[in-house]
Amino acid sequence: MTKAGDSGNSQAKNKGRIVMVVDDDDMIRRLVRTVLEADEFEVVEARNGATALDLATTAHPAVVVLDIMMPGLDGVEVCRRLDHEEAKVVVLTARDDPSLEIRCREAGADAFLTKPFSSIELLDLVSDLIGS
């Protein structure tokens, strides 16, 4: 994670490896962060949809790992509003529901991951979407 005082070189080097994790569950965000940072991704977090949309415009993530069931703006609406030219979206949900997956894909989601998920599966999806 980039810290205050780091040179711009570190941020430029990680530009394509920034992942935003959006989930209202602190434990899930922490788990996803830990998995991604162990593979040298830079991770930024949002605990709700409104914050995610604001953060996406400043952090410029390459991938957004997005929970669906959140208070306020749900993940489908957040997915619909994200700039898909800039960020790929991995939907993370506890619901194994084919109609929900269709709605997410129609909103622009690139991948769908059901909780519980394996760390390897998450890393493979994110790496494939980034192209690394």
Would the pTM of this model clear 0.75, i.e. be above it?
yes
Give the H/E segment covering residue 123: helix 119-130
CA distances from 12 to 15, 16, 42 (A): 5, 8, 11
Enumerate residues 6+ apart whose C-beta is below 8 A from 122. Answer: 32, 35, 36, 65, 90, 113
Provide the token pair at 36.
């991604």
- CA-to-CA distance for 132 and 93, rounded, in angstroms? 24
User: Looking at residue 132, what is its pLDDT?
Assistant: 54
User: Looking at residue 6, what is its pLDDT?
Assistant: 41
User: Looking at residue 1, what is its pLDDT?
Assistant: 38
pLDDT < 50 regions, the chain: 1-13
Domains recognised in the chain with CATH numbers: 13-126 (3.40.50.2300)
User: Looking at residue 38, what is its pLDDT?
Assistant: 96
Q: Is 55 within 8 Å of 44 (Cβ atoms)?
A: yes
